[in-house]
Amino acid sequence: MTDLNPVSAACVADLPQDALREVAPRYLEEPRGRWLGQAGALVLPRTVEEVAQTIRAAAEHRVGVVPYGGGTGLVGGQVCPDGPAPIVLGLERMTATRAIYPEENVMVVESGAILSDIHDAAQEADRLFPLSIAAKGSARIGGLLSTNAGGVNVLRYGNARDLCLGVEAVLPDGSVWHGLKRLRKDNTGYDLRNLLIGAEGTLGVITAAALMLAPRPAEEGTALMVVEDPRAALALLALARAHAGEGVSAFELMSGQGLRFLAETMPDLRQPFAEPPDWLVLIDLGLARGLAPAGVLERIFEEALEAGLAHDGLIAQSEAQRHDFWELREQIPEANRLIGSVSSHDISVPLGAIPDFIARAGEAIARLGDFRVNCFGHLGDGNLHYNVFPASGHDRAEHLGARDTVKATVHDLVHGFGGSVSAEHGIGRLKVEDLERYGDPAKLAAMRAVKAALDPLGIMNPGAVLRG
Amino acid sequence: MTDLNPVSAACVADLPQDALREVAPRYLEEPRGRWLGQAGALVLPRTVEEVAQTIRAAAEHRVGVVPYGGGTGLVGGQVCPDGPAPIVLGLERMTATRAIYPEENVMVVESGAILSDIHDAAQEADRLFPLSIAAKGSARIGGLLSTNAGGVNVLRYGNARDLCLGVEAVLPDGSVWHGLKRLRKDNTGYDLRNLLIGAEGTLGVITAAALMLAPRPAEEGTALMVVEDPRAALALLALARAHAGEGVSAFELMSGQGLRFLAETMPDLRQPFAEPPDWLVLIDLGLARGLAPAGVLERIFEEALEAGLAHDGLIAQSEAQRHDFWELREQIPEANRLIGSVSSHDISVPLGAIPDFIARAGEAIARLGDFRVNCFGHLGDGNLHYNVFPASGHDRAEHLGARDTVKATVHDLVHGFGGSVSAEHGIGRLKVEDLERYGDPAKLAAMRAVKAALDPLGIMNPGAVLRG
């Protein structure tokens, strides 16, 4: 790879002039405030041709390009703090729904489309686009695909990559790959689609995608169940799937710590139980015709009671109550933000290792000092957000010196269990060292070879995923 | 890429001696008899280390390596007819189940494991490994992954790639990627797993895989329904999914021609209807507790009757009857083989385009001559096996001159509909020209760059997928 240049006047002259904009501060803000980005130019294209022109100009002038979707990524992949200031390429003006095929369960959208707008468009066609994350109101599909976003429905419907049948993309040489197939089966060559998905903009820019929709479940239901511990939660998951099969849309773990954080930061939010239990799960069912979710949830709860897996529970009796239960789960990240974590970890371990991991991580963190742990997340996927906070009355600022030790403690443990130190957020710039430390050497070498082959100039999102 | 060498005595000396075998003819047979392969040496390793030693020796001596699983591939990916005779690397002695985790729905197997043995092992653990194809009794999982096999349950459970959480693989430089993670979410870097899956052994050798299992459906049921035409079949699919959601495990299209071929070649096979209808579908349901499949199939059939989508049908009343219905579907490829096709096509088109494709392809083939068409397959995936046969009483040998025209006619039409000329069989050596003709140029360039980056010597399965 060659050294990159700053954006020169000659480079700007080669960019699509109608798409040039003044750089606004929001493009340079890392959501957790870790660092400030920089931009030599801001391009907001409206067409794939304008994206291609931008990439060709960047290649010609050896200038970095940082693709920017909704800006919600949590690992800094969209914000470049060092090296020559790059072109920031925002996809926010490419938001069209190009086509929708309800009878095929397919929708073709441009990559600037906001996730909740895609939800709405699917619903209008009586379909479901199942990808859902807390930031759905601002995250854009191009970024969600580039980071292979996960979220709450992975258990049933898979990650972002599993919901994408084809992409249109501009490759690092400025060529356009017209890969917007809407086929369930297509074995014509290497899986370039999955290579771009999750590459975080380092191998090209996704400009449009053919998304898989699902039939809307005929009826939905939600329950909160109090469990003794994570092991009981796992057994309850198996029980729920034995009853409802793929009908289990989400199975989320929450802790008493999470409920206490909600009570502390959002006193108006209705708490489900008089005393926050140590552990509880949110179970969401979406069933085909002929099965009433509330009835199925009751049977699951009764069997769970008998088996000693659950000892209290609430089954939503209305859509409003379902919304309230989900609100608890979805406000936890905001409560965490208000409390202020010492270190946050987006990790996964094999499902069977979850109880041991939680127990051993708790012991290890306790040995490091007086911390509060809010462990919650997508239990059905083995994906936990294991976040460490100062003791009550203390401030994160007191613990900044401990951050690296806390992080290494959690990540070493995860790695020892055969887990992942980035389950759904990606590598971005924040976890490049983690990837180097925990990644398999043969895989890393192959990744570097692929990067050098597809982006020999190193212009695409320089410094993200792999060191430049 | 450099020119490859034949297998020299020095190369043989560097191979794992315990794994060397005499070359038996079966390793050189293309299943449809298109060509004869060649082998300079046959290696049947028992460990990943022996695979790595073989690849290192091949790299050292610039010798090609052709990985060989069950030998059932239909596009010649496992049989190399020209260039210097390569090392054939058979995985048949690596068949261990390394671990099974029923509570995680995960199983770790070596790549020589036969698919039906994996089915049995999953069943013993009260789980389902859903990948299923007609050749399940001899196909091996390494080959099934390397070709991203499809089959009859893709509608519900996805292709082979969707059922694999991680792989162990030997890369073209002889390094071993220890990627046997069993995680549902792992966003640490490029998706090397999906790059190897479907690469048909041209980017490395998969030696073991962590497979996703599914809970066994509580109850299963199967029906045959007679439909007016493919458009009615599609509407019936939507109706079935509205009733049973993901519970629709398979939705297979068959034609009167297929039933007549079965009657002609397998007179002992019980025919379901007195007169073969023009079109029929096989619907397979696997449901969670509380829903009786036969009852759901009855309701689907009643609504289909009312809506004019179906006008006759049979719902299996026993496991034996289910087996009989499936036997019809699964014997069609063998009946085709006995009849002898002029040209066979494994194609997919967008679901909504299926009726038009079938109509226009029928017209185009009729213009070419007096042929019989057996069009059948995985309707729910948009994947049809569109096979063209001589008229009754005539032999394929009379039509060999028309084969290329027939193939081009079908493939051009598929391409025009935005379809794929290889839906589930892959490219192998038989479809290299098709890939060059119909593939997107930007994707092809990217594929060549990836191949050159990961296998700069061009030793891995030379001539498959991409021209050497």
User: Which residue in A407, A409, A348 sits closest to A380, CA to CA?
Assistant: A348
Both B52 and B153 in one domain: the answer is no
Is the distance from CB of B353 to CB of B362 less than 8 angstroms? no
| Mean pLDDT for the stretch of residues A10-21 | 98
Task: Say yes or no for a CB contact (<8 Å) between B104 and A350.
Answer: yes
Residues of A with Cβ-Cβ distance to B296 under 8 angstroms: 290
Report pLDDT for B14: 98
A137/B82 Cα distance (integer angstroms): 57
| Mean pLDDT for the stretch of residues B210-237 | 96
Q: Compute, in degrees rounded to 10, the torsion defined by CA atoms B439, B440, B442, B443.
A: -60
Both B103 and B202 in one domain: the answer is yes
Both B210 and B221 in one domain: the answer is no
Task: Say yes or no for a CB contact (<8 Å) between B183 and A348.
Answer: yes
Residues of A with Cβ-Cβ distance to B447 under 8 angstroms: 189-190, 192
pLDDT 10s digits, A125-137: 999 999 999 899 9
Asked if pLDDT for residue B263 goes beyond 60, the answer is: yes
Report pLDDT for A74: 93
Both B40 and B120 in one domain: the answer is no
Does residue B462 belong to any structural domain of this protein?
A: no
Both A276 and A130 in one domain: the answer is no
Asked if pLDDT for residue B458 goes beyond 90, the answer is: yes
Of A237-241, A415-419, B11-15, the least confident: A237-241
Type of residue found at A241: R
Asked if pLDDT for residue A2 goes beyond 80, the answer is: no
Helix (H) or strand (E) holding A164: strand A164-170
Q: Which residues of A211-250 are buried (b: 16+ CB within 10 A; e: fewer)?
A: bbbbbbbbbbbbbbbbbbebbbbbbbbbbbbbbbbbbbbb
| Residue B14 distance to chain A (closest CA, Å) | 22
Type of residue found at A340: G
Domain that holds residue B231: 217-338
Is the distance from CB of B389 to CB of B379 less than 8 angstroms? no
Residues of A with Cβ-Cβ distance to B245 under 8 angstroms: 215, 217-218, 246-247, 286-288
Task: Say yes or no for a CB contact (<8 Å) between B378 and A185.
Answer: yes
**Structurally, how many domains does chain A consist of?**
2
Residues of B with Cβ-Cβ distance to A201 under 8 angstroms: none
pLDDT band at A288 (very low <50, low <70, confident <90, very high): confident
Pick the last residue of a domain from B92, B110, B144.
Answer: B92
The structure tokens 């304008």 sit at A50
**Whether A239 contacts chain B with CB within 8 A:** no
User: Which residue in B69, B190, B210 sits closest to B129, CA to CA?
Assistant: B210
Read off the CATH number of the domain in which A178 is found.
3.30.465.10
Burial class (CB in 10 A: 0-12, 13-18, 19+), B370: exposed
Both A185 and A230 in one domain: the answer is no
Mean of the per-residue pLDDT values for chain A? Answer: 96
Both B226 and B189 in one domain: the answer is no
Does residue A153 belong to any structural domain of this protein?
A: yes
The structure tokens 């799960």 sit at A281
Does residue B63 belong to any structural domain of this protein?
A: yes
pLDDT band at B2 (very low <50, low <70, confident <90, very high): low
| Mean pLDDT for the stretch of residues B59-74 | 97
Read off the CATH number of the domain in which B401 is found.
3.30.70.2740
| Residue B338 distance to chain A (closest CA, Å) | 26
DSSP B132-170: B-TTTTT-BHHHHHHTT--BTTHHHH--GGGGEEEEEEE
pLDDT band at B245 (very low <50, low <70, confident <90, very high): confident
Mutation site, B128, B186, B196, B417, interface A, largest A CB count within 10 A = B186
Residues of B with Cβ-Cβ distance to A199 under 8 angstroms: 190-191
Read off the CATH number of the domain in which A384 is found.
3.30.70.2190
A298/A225 Cα distance (integer angstroms): 11
Both A173 and A271 in one domain: the answer is no
Report pLDDT for B468: 75
Both A105 and A241 in one domain: the answer is no
**Whether A198 contacts chain B with CB within 8 A:** yes
For chains A and B, count residue pairs whose Cβ atoms are closer than 8 Å.
302
CB proximity under 8 Å: B 392-411 to A = none
Asked if pLDDT for residue A100 goes beyond 90, the answer is: yes
Does residue A253 belong to any structural domain of this protein?
A: yes
Asked if pLDDT for residue B111 goes beyond 50, the answer is: yes
Asked if pLDDT for residue A1 goes beyond 60, the answer is: no
B256/B332 Cα distance (integer angstroms): 11
Is the distance from CB of A340 to CB of A396 less than 8 angstroms? yes
Share of chain A above pLDDT 70, in %: 100
User: Which residue in A216, A208, A147 sits closest to A423, CA to CA?
Assistant: A147
| Mean pLDDT for the stretch of residues B205-230 | 96
Mean of the per-residue pLDDT values for chain B? Answer: 96
pLDDT band at B242 (very low <50, low <70, confident <90, very high): confident
Report pLDDT for B1: 47
Does residue B397 belong to any structural domain of this protein?
A: yes
Type of residue found at A467: R
Pick the last residue of a domain from B68, B92, B116.
Answer: B92
Residues of A with Cβ-Cβ distance to B422 under 8 angstroms: 186-188
Structure-model confidence comparison of residues A2 and A303, the more confident one: A303
Does residue A33 belong to any structural domain of this protein?
A: no
pLDDT 10s digits, B146-173: 999 999 999 999 999 999 999 999 999 9
pLDDT band at A417 (very low <50, low <70, confident <90, very high): very high
Pick the last residue of a domain from A191, A215, A239.
Answer: A215
